Structure 1
Amino acid sequence: MTGLRRYHPLHAVGFLRKTLLLYLLPLVQVLFERDWDALRTALEQDLALFAFLTAVSGVILHASRWELDQEGALHLRWNLIVERRRLIRSRELAVVQIERPLLARLTGANLVTLYPAARGQGKTARLYLTRRDAALLADTLMPAPPEQEYHPRGGERLALVLLGTNSLSTLLLVFLSLREGRVYTPSAELLALTQLSQTAAWVARWLPAGLAWLLTGLTVLFGLSLARSFGHTVHYRVWRGGGVLASRGGLFRRVERRFRLDRVSCADVRLSPVARLLRRYPVYLSAGCYKGTETPLFVYRAGQEKLLEELLPGLRMPPARRVPIGGRSLAFFLPAGIPCALFALLALVSRQVMPELTVLLALPALVFFAGVLAAVEGFFREGAWPSDGRLTFRRQKGLRMHCGCVFSPAPGLVMSQNPWAVVKRRADLTLVLPGGTRWNVRSIPLDDGERCAQFLEE
Structure 2
Amino acid sequence: MNREKHFHPLAALHLLRKTLLVYLLPLVQVLFDRNWDALRAALRQELVLLMFISAVCWAVYYGGRWQVDAEGTVHVSWRLGVRLDRALRAEGLAALVLEQPLVYRLTGACRVVLYPVGQTQTITLYLTRQQAEELADVLLPVTEPLWHAPKGGEKLAFTVLGANGLSTLFLWWLAIHQTQSYAPDAQTAALAQLGQLAAFAARWLPLGAAWLLVLAGTLFCISLVRSALQAVHYTVWRTDTQLGSRGGLVRRYEMRLRLCQLNYADLRRSPATWALHYCPVFVSAGACRPELPLFVWREGTPLLRELLPEMAQLPPDTRADTTDRSMVFFLPAGIPLGLCLLLTAVSRTTLPALTLPLLIPTGVFAALLGAAAVGWHREGVWQQQGQLLLCRQHQFHLHQLCVFHPDTGFTALQSPWAVTVQRANLTLVFPGKERVTVRSVPLAALDFLGI
Query: Secondary structure at the residue paired with 2:146?
Result: coil
Query: Secondary structure at the residue paired with 2:142?
Result: coil
Query: Secondary structure at the residue paired with 2:84?
Result: strand
Structure 1: state its 5+ residue gaps.
182-207
Aligned pairs for 1:190-229 (under 5 A) are 209-210=207-208, 212-214=210-212, 216-217=214-215, 220-229=218-227
Contact 2:388 2:406 in 1 (8 A): no
1:227-247 deviation per Cα after TM superposition (whole angstroms, max 9, x unaligned):
323322222111111311111
Partners of 1:80 and 1:41 lie apart in 2 by 32
Aligned pairs for 1:26-37 (under 5 A) are 26=26, 30=29, 35-37=33-35
Structure 2: state its 5+ residue gaps.
175-192
Matched letter for residue 373 of structure 2: V
Instruction: State the partner residue of 1:313.
Output: 309
TM-score, with normalisation over the residues of structure 1? Answer: 0.84
Question: How many percent of aligned residue pairs carry the same amino acid?
Answer: 45
Instruction: State the partner residue of 1:97.
Output: 97
Query: Secondary structure at the residue paired with 1:113?
Result: strand
Contact 1:115 1:288 in 2 (8 A): yes
TM-score, with normalisation over the residues of structure 2? Answer: 0.85
Query: Secondary structure at the residue paired with 2:141?
Result: coil
Contact 1:173 1:216 in 2 (8 A): no
1:357 aligns with 2:354: yes
Partners of 1:58 and 1:286 lie apart in 2 by 37
1:57-105 deviation per Cα after TM superposition (whole angstroms, max 9, x unaligned):
1221112111111101001011222121110111111111112211111
Partners of 1:445 and 1:239 lie apart in 2 by 39
Contact 1:155 1:299 in 2 (8 A): yes
Which of residues 298, 305, 316 is equivalent to 1:301?
298
Q: 1:20 to 1:417 in 2, by over 3 A?
A: farther
Matched letter for residue 95 of structure 1: A
Partners of 1:39 and 1:20 lie apart in 2 by 17
Query: Secondary structure at the residue paired with 2:306?
Result: helix
Q: 1:404 to 1:13 in 2, by over 3 A?
A: farther
1:362-398 deviation per Cα after TM superposition (whole angstroms, max 9, x unaligned):
1221122111111111101101111222111001011
Contact 2:160 2:224 in 1 (8 A): no
Matched letter for residue 449 of structure 1: L
Matched letter for residue 389 of structure 1: G
Partners of 1:77 and 1:434 lie apart in 2 by 26
Contact 2:158 2:296 in 1 (8 A): no
- RMSD of equivalent CA atoms: 2.9
Aligned pairs for 1:189-268 (under 5 A) are 209-210=207-208, 212-214=210-212, 216-217=214-215, 220-268=218-266
Which of residues 401, 404, 411 is equivalent to 1:404?
401
Q: 1:357 to 1:77 in 2, by over 3 A?
A: same
Instruction: State the partner residue of 1:416.
Output: 413
Instruction: State the partner residue of 2:61.
Output: 61
1:193-217 deviation per Cα after TM superposition (whole angstroms, max 9, x unaligned):
xxxxxxxxxxxxxxx5345534643
1:288-346 deviation per Cα after TM superposition (whole angstroms, max 9, x unaligned):
01022x11011010112x32122123213112221111111111111222222222222
Partners of 1:219 and 1:257 lie apart in 2 by 31
Contact 2:154 2:298 in 1 (8 A): no
Query: Secondary structure at the residue paired with 1:14?
Result: helix
Query: Secondary structure at the residue paired with 1:158?
Result: helix
Partners of 2:372 and 2:309 lie apart in 1 by 31
Q: 1:61 to 1:259 in 2, by over 3 A?
A: same
Contact 1:155 1:233 in 2 (8 A): no
Partners of 2:97 and 2:209 lie apart in 1 by 41
1:249-284 deviation per Cα after TM superposition (whole angstroms, max 9, x unaligned):
112111111110000011111001101110110011
Partners of 1:84 and 1:12 lie apart in 2 by 17
1:41 CA displacement: 5.6
